[in-house]
Amino acid sequence: MKEEQNHEKAKRFGMVIDLDKCTGCGACMVACMSENNVPFKEDESKKLDSITWLRVYKLTNGKPFPDAEICYLPRPCQHCGGKGDHGHSPCVSVCPATATDYSNDTGIVSQIYTRCFGCRYCMAACPYHARYFNWWDPVWPDGMEKYLSPNVSVRMRGIVEKCSFCFHRYQIAMEKAHYEGRGELEENEYQTACTQACPANAITFGDLNNPGHAVHELKKDKNAFRLLERLQTNTKVYYISSREWVRRAGDNYLEKEKK
């Protein structure tokens, strides 16, 4: 019975990103785009049009030269669990088409492209700007459609897309586990593309509920914080920074307010 309970124990996949290690190289963004068939535009400087499931933001402390500091902050979908982890993510709550959903098994916020009709309520609801709208059908350079990943379906014009924590990798890993008669995955069997691409090992991915996974301990770091924590979105992406101003930048603190 105890074993059965263990087997059925819900997972909460999440990420811990060490901002002290991040150099802002953008390898995670590139890995993400190629892994997930994210369409790119001829003019990627047009930011209202470009789609980046994972975007690296540049933060500055706003001070003049000798004290000026920069911090790079990669932002995937935060996979909000909502208060009490009941799945009341901002986007899931507002979707009228059941196109975006929260799974209590994995804690992943899914986006079903064939279900979405592009009302963009979710984009308005998302406090992290993690959702993107396809204003156009994807146009691949000649022959590139043959290099797209068959594990991720390609999106069309008129729908919303976002980071899925590379859920297809979980599906593939689980398929192998089923074939070998296992019910559980090893930590290294399911890792997101950005995690593996990061040359500085700034991103750690795993099951936040599983004490055997690195993220379980890392999220308890004294310098760990989450973005806009006061909204109680209960996100599953944790950041670590030893710098006070970076941690403060994670939420909308008033100038004189004490954290």
Stretch of 12-20, 24-32, 48-56, 145-153 contacting other proteins, by CB under 8 A: 145-153
Rounded least distance, CB 28 to other proteins, Å: 21
Residue 77's closest CA among 136, 15, 18? 15
Tell me the closest approach of the beta carbon of residue 77 to other proteins, in angstroms: 13
Number of residues that bind other proteins (CB under 8 A): 36
Is residue 189 a contact residue for other proteins (CB under 8 A)? no
The answer to whether 110 contacts other proteins (rule: CB under 8 A) is yes
> How far is the C-alpha of 83 from the C-alpha of 76, rounded, in Å?
20
Cα–Cα distance, 59 to 69 (Å, whole number): 8
Q: From the CB of 236, what's the least distance to other proteins, in Å?
A: 14
The least distance separating other proteins from the CB of residue 156, rounded to whole angstroms, comes to: 10
Cα 78 to Cα 90, 145, 155, distances in angstroms: 11, 29, 21
- Check residue 92 for interaction with other proteins (CB under 8 A): yes
C-alpha dihedral sign at 72, 78, 83, 88: positive
Applying CB under 8 A, which part among 42-50, 149-157, 203-211, 229-237 lies near other proteins?
A: 149-157
140 scored as a contact of other proteins (CB under 8 A): no
Rule CB under 8 A: is residue 34 a binding residue for other proteins?
no
The verdict on 105 binding other proteins (CB under 8 A) reads yes
Please say which residue, 108 or 193, places its beta carbon nearer to other proteins.
108
Q: Counting Cβ atoms within 10 Å, is residue 162 exposed (0-12), middle (13-18) or buried (19+)?
A: buried
Q: Which of 21, 41, 88, 243 binds other proteins (CB under 8 A)?
A: 88
Cα 234 from Cα 78, distance rounded (Å): 9
Which listed residue (177, 200, 228, 231) binds other proteins by CB under 8 A? 177
In the Cβ-directed half-sphere of 36, how many Cα atoms lie within 13 Å? 26
State how far the Cα of 32 lies from the Cα of 76, in Å rounded to an integer: 10
Q: Please report whether residue 65 would count as binding other proteins according to CB under 8 A.
A: no
8 A C-beta contact, residue 208 and residue 236? yes
152 binds other proteins (CB under 8 A): yes
Q: Which of 21, 41, 120, 168 binds other proteins (CB under 8 A)?
A: 168
Under rule CB under 8 A, residue 175 binds other proteins: yes
Query: Which residue's structure tokens are 């309970």?
Result: 5
Whether 106 contacts 210, CB under 8 Å: no
